[in-house]
């Protein structure tokens, strides 16, 4: 049963679908997908084309918008929009520490999660598209990991697309996870240096917090162990438009005086918990590196192994001198599954995924080379999360793709820009600019 309801300027409808867990076994187990249909309140009776939005991640449900913020208002001028909770996220059949034991042990859980990558997400889209559009192709907007999914869509089912818009999400077609992180750490270091140039007072603040964490065991209210390495991972916010400012405000009031001496304040700990906990998106940690898996070579904790090539990120070594502490970014490590109580029961499952050697290819360079779908991509200059050089190499490999390379926005430009990024990308797909 579908339910429709109103918010300012929009009508929303809950949509639910069932799809095969394994699309190669359509008669086997099925899982549920949830999506939210959105249409402008003055266009509810109009026959509009569809735009499906693929959220970044992996592991995040689609945005829960109220009204028409960010890019949505622009899209609703001409589309009905489907905000899809990709499999395992949001209100779709969940995959987390509470539900995964239903699958069995770590090996069985890993086998299950192997079906939660871009290839399965695209096949989900194709499975539900006839019901949503009546069979007509739709436009896809892919943000970040959603852009990775879009390139898989162009590789495997381009007949389902009338146009594609990608924001901060052109992946390398053939890079191993090692290559991804080898390119990432210098990029992260540049973002941290830019932060310290803006807020030089944060150099000492960050060092002081890290020193405290190396000397004290700090457990956040939900049982999260805040280690120095976990603290460094707060640098993930530096890839967003307001991230540097947000990090600065977090650091400036970290300590309070107590009878036992300086301690990290409850307010600081609460905000850190909100930034670092994977409770709301465990799939991000579980399948993050698996998103780069193609072929027989395992990902094998690539971010952790490659980090050893960049000793400047070692907090303990940094604090023996007087240099600035380097934050890290979008990476998952073995210790991630030790610090976070939402992930601890899944450590062995993560090990199974890291060792996996049977990843299917996600992209088809030959098919992309003859692409006929109008495609445009926003490539953010020195994007913290997706390597610009990799993105531009892929852009050249997709026939007809038009790029907009800009340093006006960070990775979240499609949100931060209001209608501008989506408006420009749609115009590029139509040769209007």
Which residue is catalytic, options 144, 155, 244, 391?
144
Query: Is residue 357 packed enough to be buried (19+ CB in 10 Å), middle (13-18) or exposed (0-12)?
Result: exposed
Give the CA dihedral 176, 180, 182, 185, nearest 10 degrees. Answer: -160
d(CA 359, CA 299): 10
| Largest distance between two CA atoms of the chain | 69
Which residue is catalytic, options 124, 277, 411, 417?
411
Which residue is catalytic, options 25, 45, 358, 407?
358
Q: Are 307 and 289 in contact (CB under 8 A)?
A: no
Q: Are 410 and 63 in contact (CB under 8 A)?
A: no
Place of tokens 């590196």: 289
Q: How far from each other are the two terminal CA atoms of the chain, in whole angstroms?
A: 43
d(CA 377, CA 146): 12
Report DSSP state, residue 21: S
d(CA 364, CA 310): 33
Q: Are 168 and 372 in contact (CB under 8 A)?
A: no
Whether 155 is a known active-site residue: answer no
Show the CA angle centred on residue 292, arms to residues 286 and 294, nearest 5°.
Answer: 115
Whether 281 is a known active-site residue: answer no
- Single out the residue of 407, 411, 403, 408 nearest to residue 165, CA to CA: 403
Whether 176 is a known active-site residue: answer no
d(CA 97, CA 105): 12
Q: Are 373 and 163 in contact (CB under 8 A)?
A: yes
- Single out the residue of 428, 427, 387, 384 nearest to residue 409, CA to CA: 384
Task: Give start and end residues of each alpha helix (H) in 216-242.
Answer: 228-232
d(CA 242, CA 222): 27
Which residues are known to be catalytic? 144, 358, 411
């Amino acid at each position: 049963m579908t339910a429709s309801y109103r918010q300012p300027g929009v009508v929303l409808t809950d949509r639910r679908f069932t799809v095969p867990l394994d699309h190669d076994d359509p008669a086997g187990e099925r899982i549920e997908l949830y999506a939210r249909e959105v249409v402008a309140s003055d266009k509810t009776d109009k026959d509009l084309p569809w735009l499906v939005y693929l959220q970044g991640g992996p592991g995040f449900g689609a945005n829960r918008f109220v009204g028409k913020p960010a890019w949505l208002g622009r899209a609703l001028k001409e589309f009905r929009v489907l905000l899809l909770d990709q499999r395992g996220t949001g209100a779709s059949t969940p995959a987390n520490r509470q539900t995964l034991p239903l699958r069995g042990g770590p090996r069985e859980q890993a086998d299950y999660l192997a079906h939660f990558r871009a290839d399965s997400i695209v096949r989900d889209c194709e499975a539900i598209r006839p019901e949503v559009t009546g069979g007509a192709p739709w436009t896809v907007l892919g943000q970040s990991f959603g852009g990775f999914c879009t390139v898989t869509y162009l590789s495997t089912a381009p007949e389902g697309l009338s146009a594609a818009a990608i924001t901060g999400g052109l992946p390398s077609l053939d890079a191993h996870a090692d290559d991804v992180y080898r390119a990432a750490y210098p990029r992260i270091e540049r973002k941290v240096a830019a932060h310290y140039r803006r807020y030089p007072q944060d150099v000492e603040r960050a060092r002081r917090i890290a020193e405290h964490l190396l000397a004290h065991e700090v457990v956040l209210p939900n049982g999260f162990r805040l280690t120095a390495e976990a603290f460094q991972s707060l640098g993930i916010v530096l890839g967003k438009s307001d991230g540097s400012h947000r990090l600065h405000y977090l650091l400036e009031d970290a300590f309070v005086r107590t009878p036992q001496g300086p301690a990290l304040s409850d307010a600081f700990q609460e905000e850190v918990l909100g930034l670092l906990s994977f409770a709301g998106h465990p799939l991000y940690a579980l399948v993050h590196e698996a998103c780069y898996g193609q072929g027989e070579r395992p990902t094998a904790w690539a971010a952790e192994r490659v980090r050893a090539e960049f000793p400047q990120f070692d907090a303990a070594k940094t604090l023996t001198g007087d240099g600035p502490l380097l934050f890290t970014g979008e990476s998952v490590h073995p210790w991630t599954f030790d610090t976070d109580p939402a992930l601890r029961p899944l450590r062995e499952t993560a090990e199974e995924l890291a060792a996996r050697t049977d990843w299917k290819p996600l992209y088809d360079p030959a098919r992309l080379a003859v692409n006929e779908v109008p495609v445009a991509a926003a490539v953010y200059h020195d994007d913290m999360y997706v390597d610009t050089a990799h993105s531009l190499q892929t852009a050249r490999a997709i026939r007809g793709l038009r790029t907009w390379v800009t340093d006006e926005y960070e990775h979240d430009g499609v949100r931060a820009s209001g209608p501008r990024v989506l408006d420009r990308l749609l115009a590029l797909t139509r040769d209007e600019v």
